[in-house]
Structure 1
Amino acid sequence: MKRLAGVLSIGALVLLASCGPSGGGEEEVKQETADGGEKTSVVSSYNFSDEEYKVLLPYESGKSKGVVNYETSAARGVIINQIANRLDIDEVEEGLRNHSKDVFSPDEYYFREGQMLDSDTLYSWIGRYAKAQENDKGEITDDEKAKELGLNPELNEDKASEKDFRDNPKYLSHILEQDYMIEDDNGDIKLGGVSIALAMKSEYQFTTGGKGPYREEIPEDKMLAQANEMSKKIVERMRSIDGLSDVPIHITVYQEAKKESVVPGSFVAETTVDKGSSSVGDWDKIDEKNVLFPSDDANENYPDESQYISAFTTKVASFFPNYTGMVGRGFYQNDELKKLTIDIPIQFEGNAEVVAFTQYAYSQIMDIFPNYYDLEINITSNDQTEAIITREHDTKEPEVYILN
């Protein structure tokens, strides 16, 4: 095998994939902060891919001079509490960044995690609407005022019947913000635009009267209608926030998968509000889909890829005695396969078995799978990654990583 590379750990592999060369090559720039102030940041002159955004890193002076730190989201952790399926969390974050490239080119813009919408703001917006109530002193507290910002339908859940829940589901799970920074004429970095993703439910689960959980399917057309109305309110509110009054706002709608799904949901629509405008115009359809292999859907609608995976499964099963099955996920855009990911869990008893199995899988990839899409094979044992095989589209030979 020509391309067999060993790495020390999965952490090292992730570092290679997500960072790029280190040491030197940094440029100090002045960056606009969310409150309208200014701070010094660092931009690396290196980038592991021309198709990806460079990231701004805050630069600490004084005692920690020379130290750079990643700037986490102002609403860090909210997404984990609001979206039930971990696959959806990864998909909405990566997908929003990819869809933003058509609006905010990586050639011109830098990426920054969202700093304009903090946790308190998001929790109030994604809650249910409720009329603010005065306390015993005749006052309306900030917590009560926040209830009136809720974008999901009004409902007293403590007293609601099953029918009430079904008629008034929670549509909106989360609002993900990403900031795109640009250099001005003075060489300073300022906010150039914002992208948001509305994570919308495809299914609402609830309990009432000590019974349940019940489920209510949410049709896509009904979900999109709600997303459109919510977007109008969100843009109006964002325009009132310092720093957001005069930048483009790119809005996407992400339809979540069901909670127990083994493939994530997908983006279904997008639009861009011009700088200075508060008007949400027409939406463009996004034709994306994540397909499970094997499945009835895959067999019926994607027969070619189903046959490739079936042939690969047969070969692997005949080669290794502890093989129990594999799960594949195909990511399609406009009905064209863009990436195929296959997870193979196997019980290994030693490194020699890992190497032998990986070599065999490599050979079968070369023989079976065409190369017009990206391919990733993850080989695991006892929930630990043992090997990864990747091949970019239009590339003949895969890259192989043996871990540990």
Structure 2
Amino acid sequence: MKRWSIALLSFLLILASCAPEDTDDEQVVQENEDAEQQTSIVPSYKLNDESYRVILPYQTSEARGVITNQMGNRVDIDELEQGLMRHSKDIFDPEELYFQEGQYLNSNHIFGWIDANNPQLDEDELEDMEDEDKIKTYKNNPRILTHILEQNYLKRNEDNTVEIAGISIGIALKSVYRFQTDIGEPSHYEDIPMDEMLEKGNEVAQAILTEMRVESDESPDVPDVPIMIALYREEEHSSPVPGNFVAKTVVESGQSKINNWDTIKEENILFPSNEGKDKYPEDHEIISSFGTEIGEFFPNYVGVIGRGFYVNEELRKLTIEIPIEFYGKGEVIGFTQYTYGLIMDMFANNFDLEVRITSSEGLESLITREYGDEEPTVNILD
């Protein structure tokens, strides 16, 4: 894919910042699922200082595909996976360890825990109930647990072998329980209070930990390493923004009991929205003004969609999508140039920023700026 560079604005290629410092990849030896040794490759470079290196050939999860069956919202799936890795960095050092998808919990383990930790209603009894009684039964027995995600973190030994050094477990829990009394009937929605969700999350986490620490034919064969467990609160099914992690704990090797949880204060906020206006009025005003400025000069513009990621009520990343119809590459370049200027004038540089300019054909251009950078980087796609 070719990229157009606009010299006037000193546009930089994103890939330049990701160039490898050393092209000499390293070889390590690890055991596969059949306890046979195989030679693997560890790339000598990382995308940035905060990312994990990944051992190749890439090993997919033992529970591959389960997450897409269990979680219906793509933004929640992405945030659960990426957010769990983000929180893992506080425990498992990306400078020292390598990332690998979970290799110990398979689909049978996960579906078994989901069934064991959610109410199982008697279908025959439900058939004999009136509709109002069915609704009441479903509401009183919400299925809160959605998914269990495993990630592995590996260390390299002096003899060039790698072994597991830590495991992260993400537990996805509903904020809204959606159900139908019969196939084809309208959906009903029941809000799950935070305290009820946390109680269920704690219960599920302890049950999973206990089974991971026990050696038996039914339990997963998990090494005795530190395990980080994080609770994720999903957004409602149709939400354009994901939910967020709400709590995490670390259980050291040799331990099989959760003693306490650390509260996580994260939010993903949609702009423009009443929630964004009420919670973060200054950010709401800037984003609204940004959209107004664009609309004055480009008639095909229909609005901006913003997503702010907040930690402890502080904006850490702002992602903006600008959908617009274009009729030529010159229009794309002009629009991107104008947007670039607005970014320089209107947005502070104390958070990560990503602006995606799209059309019905897909992504047209991408403007990014990392925390602390004075000027954005621009890619115009052809």
TM-score strictly above 0.5: yes
Residue among 85, 88, 100 paired with 2:88: 100
Deviation, structure 1 residue 324: 0.6
Is 1:84 the counterpart of 2:72? The answer is yes
2:252 maps to 274
Structure 2 matches for 1:163-178, cutoff 5 A?
163-178=136-151
Query: Which deviates the most, 355-364 or 273-282?
Result: 273-282
SS at match of 1:159: helix
Is 1:313 the counterpart of 2:287? The answer is no
Structure 2 matches for 1:32-111, cutoff 5 A?
32-34=31-33, 36-58=35-57, 70-111=58-99
Deviation, structure 1 residue 153: 2.1
> Letter of the aligned partner of 1:260 in structure 2?
S
Q: Tell whether the 8 Å contact from 1:325 to 1:345 is kept in structure 2 after alignment.
A: yes
Is 1:218 the counterpart of 2:184? The answer is no
Q: Normalising to structure 1: TM-score of the pair?
A: 0.86
Is 1:153 the counterpart of 2:153? The answer is no
Aligned alpha-carbon RMSD (Å) = 2.0
Q: Tell whether the 8 Å contact from 1:331 to 1:339 is kept in structure 2 after alignment.
A: yes
Q: Deviations over 1:94-133 (max 9, x none)?
A: 0000000111010111100111111222222222xxxxxx
Deviation, structure 1 residue 186: 3.2
Residue among 166, 174, 178 paired with 1:201: 174
1:228 maps to 202
Deviation, structure 1 residue 4: 2.9
Q: Tell whether the 8 Å contact from 1:35 to 1:242 is kept in structure 2 after alignment.
A: no
Deviation, structure 1 residue 154: 2.8
SS at match of 1:31: strand
> Letter of the aligned partner of 1:170 in structure 2?
R
Q: Distance in 2 between matches of 1:37 and 1:271?
A: 33
Identity %: 48
Structure 2 gap segments, 5+ residues each = 1-7, 127-133
SS at match of 1:309: helix
> Letter of the aligned partner of 1:95 in structure 2?
G
Q: Normalising to structure 2: TM-score of the pair?
A: 0.90
Q: Tell whether the 8 Å contact from 2:68 to 2:77 is kept in structure 1 after alignment.
A: yes
Q: Distance in 1 between matches of 2:16 and 2:258?
A: 37
Q: Tell whether the 8 Å contact from 1:36 to 1:242 is kept in structure 2 after alignment.
A: no
Structure 2 matches for 1:255-270, cutoff 5 A?
255-270=233-248
Q: 1:320 to 1:158 in 2, by over 3 A?
A: farther
> Letter of the aligned partner of 1:76 in structure 2?
R
1:3 maps to 10
Residue among 341, 359, 370 paired with 1:381: 359
> Letter of the aligned partner of 2:9 in structure 1?
K
SS at match of 2:247: strand
Deviation, structure 1 residue 17: 9.9
Q: Tell whether the 8 Å contact from 1:5 to 1:402 is kept in structure 2 after alignment.
A: no
Query: Which deviates the most, 337-346 or 243-252?
Result: 243-252
Q: Distance in 2 between matches of 1:237 and 1:360?
A: 57
Q: 1:170 to 1:73 in 2, by over 3 A?
A: same
Structure 1 gap segments, 5+ residues each = 7-12, 59-69, 128-149
Is 1:113 the counterpart of 2:112? The answer is no
Query: Which deviates the most, 16-25 or 96-105?
Result: 16-25
Paired residues in the alignment total: 363
Q: Tell whether the 8 Å contact from 1:34 to 1:116 is kept in structure 2 after alignment.
A: no
Structure 2 matches for 1:332-371, cutoff 5 A?
332-371=310-349
Q: Tell whether the 8 Å contact from 2:349 to 2:372 is kept in structure 1 after alignment.
A: yes
Deviation, structure 1 residue 36: 4.5
Q: Distance in 1 between matches of 2:40 and 2:103?
A: 15
Q: Deviations over 1:351-390 (max 9, x none)?
A: 1110000000000000001110001000000050000000
Q: Distance in 2 between matches of 1:206 and 1:89?
A: 20
Structure 2 matches for 1:170-189, cutoff 5 A?
170-189=143-162
Deviation, structure 1 residue 245: 4.1
Q: Distance in 2 between matches of 1:270 and 1:166?
A: 28
Deviation, structure 1 residue 334: 0.4
> Letter of the aligned partner of 1:178 in structure 2?
Q
Structure 2 matches for 1:231-246, cutoff 5 A?
231-239=205-213, 240=215, 241=219, 243-246=221-224
Q: Tell whether the 8 Å contact from 1:3 to 1:398 is kept in structure 2 after alignment.
A: no
Q: Distance in 2 between matches of 1:207 and 1:102?
A: 41
Q: 1:168 to 1:36 in 2, by over 3 A?
A: farther
Q: 1:86 to 1:157 in 2, by over 3 A?
A: farther
> Letter of the aligned partner of 1:328 in structure 2?
G
1:138 maps to none
Q: Distance in 2 between matches of 1:34 and 1:199?
A: 27
Q: 1:230 to 1:167 in 2, by over 3 A?
A: same
2:373 maps to 395
Q: Distance in 1 between matches of 2:348 and 2:21?
A: 35
Is 1:162 the counterpart of 2:132? The answer is no
1:192 maps to 165
Q: Deviations over 1:74-98 (max 9, x none)?
A: 1111111111110001111100000
